[in-house]
Every structure is written in structure tokens, then in C-alpha cells.
Amino acid sequence: MLTTTISDFRKDIKRYLDSVVKNFETLIINRGKDSGVVVMSLDEYNSLCATQHELSSKINEKRLDSAIEKLKSGSSYKKDLLDE
């Protein structure tokens, strides 16, 4: 995680944004006492939204936990996709 001030961010915005995107960094821009902004890549944001959606219901959460346990225990199986 990177942190900077708004002044430093303005001076070197391209470098900061390149680092966020290329290195999957999260950037916190401090704007004074108890105030700030978080900058993240679009891919990271989309990933967080997808995770939040998947965990938004207890049923989904249990289904995902069950799938993870099957993978860990080796009781999962591979299926071939049908060709159209």
C-alpha cells in the first residue's frame, strides 16, 4: 500500500497511477486530519465487487466454502466442456 499527500500526488500523478495499475497497489492520498482518498485499479475494484457479491448471501457463502473444502480435500472432479 502506498501513501502520499495531495501535493505530492499532484506533482507525480502519472508515476502514482502507473504503480497502482502495474503493481496492483492501493494508494491512499491523505487530505488532512482523518480525511483521505483511496485509489485502486479498475481490475482490483471489479474483483472486490465480485467478491462482495459472491459473499452477499449466506447460501452463496456456504456454497463457496463447500467448494473450497472439496478442492482442499481432493474430492473435486474435472468436467469437460461441451463443444458447440
Model pTM score? 0.65
pLDDT tens per residue, range 4-56: 999 999 999 999 999 999 999 999 999 888 889 999 999 999 999 998 988 88
In terms of domains, do 7 and 35 share one? yes
**In angstroms, rounded to a whole number, what is the distance separating the alpha carbons of residues 46 and 42?**
6
Q: Residue 33: its pLDDT value, please? A: 83
Range of the domain at 63: 43-73
Same domain (yes/no): 8, 35: yes
In a domain, 14, yes or no: yes
Contact (CB, 8 A) for 14 and 20: no
Contacts of 13 (CB under 8 A, 6+ apart): none
What is the pLDDT at residue 13?
97
Count of alpha carbons within 13 Å of 10, Cβ hemisphere only?
Answer: 5
Tally of CB atoms within 10 A around 29 = 19
